[in-house]
Amino acid sequence: MTTVFARPKLQVFGVSTAYVVRKISLSDLGDALRLGWEDFKAIPTHAIVLCVMYPVLGLVLFRLVLGYSVLPLLFPLAAGFALIGPFAGLGLYELSRRRERGEEPGAWDAMQVLRAPSFGAMLELGVLLLVLFGVWIAAADAIYIATFGYAPAASIPDFAQRVLTTPEGWTLIIIGCGVGFLFALVALCVSVVSFPLMLDRHATAIDAIRTSIRAVTMNPIEMAAWGLIVAVLLAVGSLPFFVGLCVVLPVLGHATWHLYRKVVEPDPNPPQEEPRPPIGHRYAADFPASLFPWSRER
């Protein structure tokens, strides 16, 4: 059950903010996942995820064909998606927001997030997460070189044998997972509710980060469980060959929106927004303008 702390205003780092953070329970995490699954079934977001995911994975696999120098970084690259996932899910939050308002959004309505008043703030935090992702990859590469040196793995079986059957390999796993946990913790603290808050309440990046940190400090067990859920689902979705991510990623994106709704008290005086009328039939003559529905708005 969600508990609301009756504090109309909180003083954080000397700055007054009206974003009230709730105390949640573990059952709220399950409810957020359930609502995320319902959104996924109602909105065909998997098409967008596939359009973005498979070209990236194709580039990775193409690089593997050319040589195995990237092989030691394949797992850090896959695990590091959790660091930039909150930014990558912007369009999914927009779809869940519209569906919450009673609309019937199409997959391409996710692009409307580009017109959000706080998109600049979202971009700022997104750049921060991308920098964090880059530092993580550099750290993972440094750990591998410190453990095995500069000699590349001769093949995938050779790499697996090195990592799983040697003392150096287990050292790599332990240190790598430990360092990766610290990066994941930082990303969770600064972004667990930041992007939905900026989209919904037009918060600044600083206020969104502060609110996200409060959410984690007030709900440490629940947020740790959420981070574990995300990590496990991403790991399961990556097998085999990342195919399961076409379901896992949109479900997690939608669920993050509903988690935000449970963690942050709603705006007592929300701005009035006119629900967008349902989209009628589209014809071949509308292409490609139909891909950019906002261009027809006045």
3, β-bridge pairs: 23
The per-residue pLDDT for range 17-44, each reduced to its tens digit, is 579 999 999 999 999 999 999 999 998 7
- Residues 235-240: what's their mean pLDDT? 78
Looking only at Cα atoms, what is the longest distance across the chain? 65
- Residues 222-235: what's their mean pLDDT? 92
Cβ neighbours, 10 Å, residue 280 = 6
How far, in Å, are 50, 148, 235 from residue 241 at the CA level? 13, 26, 11
Residue owning tokens 């059950």 = 1
* In the chain, where the domains are located: 14-267
Look up residue 225 and give its amino acid: A
How far, in Å, are 67, 152, 166, 172 from residue 163 at the CA level? 18, 13, 6, 7
d(CA 73, CA 19): 39
d(CA 83, CA 153): 27
d(CA 132, CA 129): 5
d(CA 211, CA 27): 21
Does residue 16 carry a pLDDT above 70? no
Residue 68 — very low, low, confident or very high, per pLDDT cuts 50/70/90? low
The per-residue pLDDT for range 97-121, each reduced to its tens digit, is 999 988 888 878 888 899 999 999 9
* C-alpha atoms less than 13 angstroms from C-alpha of 16 in its C-beta half-sphere: 3
Does residue 289 carry a pLDDT above 70? no
What average pLDDT is seen over the chain? 81
* pLDDT confidence of residue 56: 67
Tokens of 121: 């703030």
> 212, exposed or middle or buried, with CB in 10 Å at 0-12, 13-18, 19+?
buried
Does residue 194 carry a pLDDT above 80? yes
| CA proximity to 106, closest of 274, 287, 276, 245 | 276
Query: Is the separation of the CB atoms in 38 and 95 below 8 Å?
Result: no
